[in-house]
Amino acid sequence: MSNDPYALATEAATALKSATGVDSFDVALVMGSGWVPAADAIGETISEIPVTDLPGFAPPAVAGHAGRVRAVRTGSGKVALIFLGRTHLYEGRGVDPVVHGVRTAIKAGVGTIVLTNAAGGLRPETQEVGEAVLISDHINLTGANPITGATFVDLTDVYTPRLRDLVREIEPSMAEGVYVAFRGPTYETPAEVRMCRILGGDMVGMSTALEAVAAREGGADVLGISLVTNPGAGLVGEPLNHEEVLEVGRATAARMGGLLAEVVGK
């Protein structure tokens, strides 16, 4: 296995093609916490393998989380690569494993990356728990970056306007918001939540931003969607309970399956 993360992604893409029997993929989706039920609506499964069958992927950090990757044929004949789960920065493996799936997908021919996540909501005055919000931009507070060296990637439109317009054609009522990425694994303090509101954030999470940067570096278009599964800490009375939060996400993600299938199929 190569030490160079980009060469490792090429190795993983080669292994992926032989493991799935698929030569090239059109689009990749990363299903965040609670989004796995939406994956079934994307299309007909061609094959599904544990990510650990591919170079550079570690076993899922949380026992029971589906660290699997699925090749799917959509209704319109496109081939989609679906990562059921992801690696988070808080696992302490460094930033390259966090974006390895995105890099592998791009090396396997993918031109569009759909990043989904479960997030905290910073705007309880307008956001419903269980609402899906289109990501318009992000604020990276992780302190990390997947790119090293003098590669000055422009991030003006890191969340591709064309894809956001497409979603809004399908779901005109869907709001957009700025995603604030923290390293985690702790949730934000109430003071950090208030800071994020002042900074113009609309959701807080522990994923997505670094994957989006890696996707743009690789020349792929990016669509991001957050499921608001809890109000940010301190915005409403009770403390956060991770399990309750994920249950809300699962219920809404199944509904989002149809939307993703339509977007991916276009």
Nearer to ligand 8IG, 220 or 235 (CB): 235
Compute the distance between CA of residue 157 and CA of residue 263 in angstroms, rounded to an integer: 19
| Active-site position among 188, 192, 217, 262 | 188
Which of 87, 127, 226, 229 binds ligand 8IG (CB under 6 A)? It is 229
Tokens of 237: 């009375």
Which of 29, 206, 223, 263 binds ligand 8IG (CB under 6 A)? It is 206
* Residues 187/233, Cβ–Cβ less than 8 Å: yes
Minimum Å distance from CB 262 to ligand 8IG?
25
Annotate 187-221 with DSSP letters as a single string.
PPPHHHHHHHHHTT-SEEESSSHHHHHHHHHTT-E
Residues 72, 74, 79, 83, CA torsion sign = negative
Which range in 18-26, 113-121, 146-154, 160-168 contacts ligand 8IG by CB under 6 A?
A: 113-121
Compute the distance between CA of residue 20 and CA of residue 69 in angstroms, rounded to an integer: 10
Minimum Å distance from CB 33 to ligand 8IG?
6
Minimum Å distance from CB 88 to ligand 8IG?
10
β-strand 203-205 against 176-181: which pairing, if any?
Answer: parallel
- Residue 35 found at the interface with ligand 8IG (CB under 6 A): no
- Residue 122 found at the interface with ligand 8IG (CB under 6 A): no
* Centroid of chain to Cα 34: 12
Nearer to ligand 8IG, 46 or 66 (CB): 66
Which of 71, 72, 245, 253 binds ligand 8IG (CB under 6 A)? It is 245
- Residue 30 found at the interface with ligand 8IG (CB under 6 A): no
Compute the distance between CA of residue 181 and CA of residue 175 in angstroms, rounded to an integer: 19
Q: How far lies 227's CA from each of 120, 133, 175, in Å?
A: 8, 6, 11
Minimum Å distance from CB 202 to ligand 8IG?
12
Burial 187-205 (b: 16+ CB within 10 A, else e): bbeeebbbebbeeebbbbb
- Residue 182 found at the interface with ligand 8IG (CB under 6 A): yes
188 has catalytic annotation: yes
Which of 108, 204, 253, 261 binds ligand 8IG (CB under 6 A)? It is 204
Nearer to ligand 8IG, 206 or 213 (CB): 206
Minimum Å distance from CB 184 to ligand 8IG?
6
Q: What one-letter code names the amino acid at 193?
A: V
Q: Which residues bind ligand 8IG (CB under 6 A)?
A: 33, 118-120, 182, 184, 187-188, 204-206, 229-230, 232, 245
